[in-house]
Amino acid sequence: MQARRAAEVAAGTAEPLKIGVLISGSGTNLQALIDRIADGSLNAQVVMVISSRPSAAGLKRAADAGIQTLALSKELYAQDPWVADEVIATELKHAGAEYIIMAGYMRKVHEPLLALWPNRVVNLHPALLPSFQGAHGIADAYARGVKVTGVTVHFANEVYDQGPIIAQEPVRVEEGMTVDDLEAAIHAVEHRLYPQVVQLLAEGRVTVRPDLTVSIATA
C-alpha cells in the first residue's frame, strides 16, 4: 500500500488518506489531527472515531467536526476483548479506513484489527520506547528521575508497546518540573509529531523492513 501511495503522490493523484481513529478520553491528539487536516498540512480524512468509553470527551470533538462516531461499552470489553475488536474492525472496514490511528486508546488491539491492517495500526506512546512501557509512561519516567524522556510513534502488533518504531522525539525533564509540567510538555510534542507521522503515511514514505525496523523515504 505504501508503494501505491508513493506513486500516487508522485503523480499528483493521491486522495486523502482514510484513517479511523481510536480514542478513550479527551481526544486532544484527535483534535490535533482534525486541525491539521483543516489547515491543509495533513492530507487525510478521518472516516470514523471509535471510543472505548461512551463518556469520552473526544466523541464531542469528532461530532463537532462532522465525523461519524461509535462508542463501545466496558461490558463488551470485559466479556471478550476479541469481540470488541471484531466490532471495531467491521465498522472501520465498512467506513473504508486505510490506517488505524490510536490516539489515547487505552486498550490492547488484537488479531481482528491487526490481521486486516498489518503494519497499519499506529500507536502513540508518551515515553521513548522500549523504556517505560505500559499505561503510565509519563509518571514512571518522572518517578525514575530520568533527565530525558519523550514520545514514540510506532506500529502496534501483538506485543504491547513493542511494534516497529516510526518516529521518536526527546523531551528534556528540566530542573523543578512537576509531573504535570512534564505531561504538558509531552502532550505538546505529541500534538505536533503525530500529524507529521500520519502525513508521512499519506505520502507513502514509511516502510517496515523484514527485521521490523522502519525506513522513512526522503521527500
Q: Which positions are catalytic?
A: 125
Residues 6+ apart with CB under 8 A from 103: 21, 22, 23, 27, 29, 30, 33, 58, 124, 194
The b-or-e profile of 63-82 (16+ CB within 10 A means b, else e) is eebebebbebeeeebeeeee
